[in-house]
Amino acid sequence: MRKYIEIFKSQLQLDAAYNGWFWANAVASVIGLLIAFSFWHAVYRNTTQIANMNLPKMISYVVIAMLLGNYVSGVGNRLSESIRSGEVAIELMKPYDLLLKLIWIDLGSKVSASVRDSLPLLVIGYAFLGVQAPVSLAGGALFAVSAMLGVLIGTQFDLIIGVLAFWTVNVWGLRVLRRGILSIFSGALIPVTLFPAWLLHISEVLPFQSMVYTPVAIYTGAIPLQAVGMTLLIQAVWLIGLYVLVRLIWSVALRKVVIFGG
């Protein structure tokens, strides 16, 4: 455990530098917020309720979801790169579990990103865009738990795509595909409750809405407090299921590495 904590901390430091990319991403995020803000204001020009949500609720949902949506990707890219370059062979000889290491690195960079990137944007959201506070204190706390689960689910899914690099040459195409699927089904763009019924049914049996929609719906109160226990359970089941799946694919992949020598 100690080992992984160190990895986690070093990643925190790595990300601490403010460079050109930090500012570029900040500008892009602010632009994204402004577009969403203007778009939804225009949508509500002639209506007060959409799928039981009024404008302030929708804005809160969209802004929080946009921020949370930045965390559904992660180290999968790094894994597939090290597989492609063959570096993974060296990594495997080191005295730690590579998957756990990657997960801790992922958490480290996400913690630093949340302070560095998301916090300022959240402040902008509260101050200028009319984002509401969570429905209640308990709601806020449960949101934090649920968001954590959602991020971890995202990490596992990302790792699955990463491990597939052992089989496919072009992981990059898969990654774009993943991005497309997530932007539809995770709820990062739009609450899944706005979907037409058939699409909503599809979404409900997939793990993706657990990443963003579920936590943000807890935040806005769309999922009432008494139902939160159940949704957290569903998230936990998905997390465990995906983690087991990653492990499974990973061990099959390792057997392949041992047999073919990379």
Partner 1 sequence: MTVWRYARLYLEFVKQVLKVWLEYRVDFFIGALSTIVIQFASLLFVTVVFEHIQQLNGWSFYQILLIYGIAATGRSIHLIFFDNLWTLGWQYIRTGNFDRLLIRPINPLFHLIADRIQQDGVGQLAIGLVVLIVAATHDGTVWTPINLSLLVLLILSSGVIFSAVNLFFATLSFWMVDSLPVIFATFSLSDFARYPLTIYNKGIRVLLTWIIPYGFTAFYPAASILEPAKFGLMALITPLVAVICSVLAYLFWNVGLRAYTSTGN
Residue 124 found at the interface with partner 1 (CB under 8 A): no
Q: Indicate the helix (H) or strand (E) that contains 154.
A: helix 137-163
206/212 Cα distance (integer angstroms): 13
- Give the phi and the psi of residue 27 in degrees, each rounded to 5: -60, -45
> For partner 1, which stretch binds (CB under 8 A), given 5-13, 22-30, 73-81, 217-225?
22-30
Residue 41 found at the interface with partner 1 (CB under 8 A): yes
Residue 20 found at the interface with partner 1 (CB under 8 A): yes
Residue closer to partner 1 by CB (options 30, 258) is: 30
Contacts of 40 (CB under 8 A, 6+ apart): 55, 58, 59, 62
**Distances from the Cα of 91 to the Cαs of 12, 95, 207, 253, in angstroms?**
21, 9, 30, 15
Residue 18 found at the interface with partner 1 (CB under 8 A): no
Residue closer to partner 1 by CB (options 63, 99) is: 63
Tracing tokens 């062979």 back to the chain, one arrives at 89
157 to 176, contacts with partner 1 by CB under 8 A? 170, 172-173, 176
Residue 148 found at the interface with partner 1 (CB under 8 A): no
Which of 5, 16, 31, 227 contacts partner 1 by CB under 8 A?
31
Residue 206 found at the interface with partner 1 (CB under 8 A): no
- Amino acid at residue number 241: G
Which of 195, 219, 238, 250 contacts partner 1 by CB under 8 A?
195
Which of 18, 39, 128, 167 contacts partner 1 by CB under 8 A?
39
Say if residue 47 is exposed, middle or buried (CB neighbours under 10 Å; 0-12, 13-18, 19+).
exposed
Tracing tokens 């070093």 back to the chain, one arrives at 10
**Distances from the Cα of 259 to the Cαs of 71, 87, 125, 246, 255, in angstroms?**
35, 17, 53, 20, 6
Residue 179 found at the interface with partner 1 (CB under 8 A): yes
Which of 89, 181, 244, 258 contacts partner 1 by CB under 8 A?
181
129/56 Cα distance (integer angstroms): 9
* Site of interaction with partner 1 (CB under 8 A): 19-21, 23-24, 27-28, 31-32, 34-35, 38-39, 41-43, 45-47, 50-51, 170, 172-173, 176-177, 179-181, 183-184, 189-190, 194-196, 199
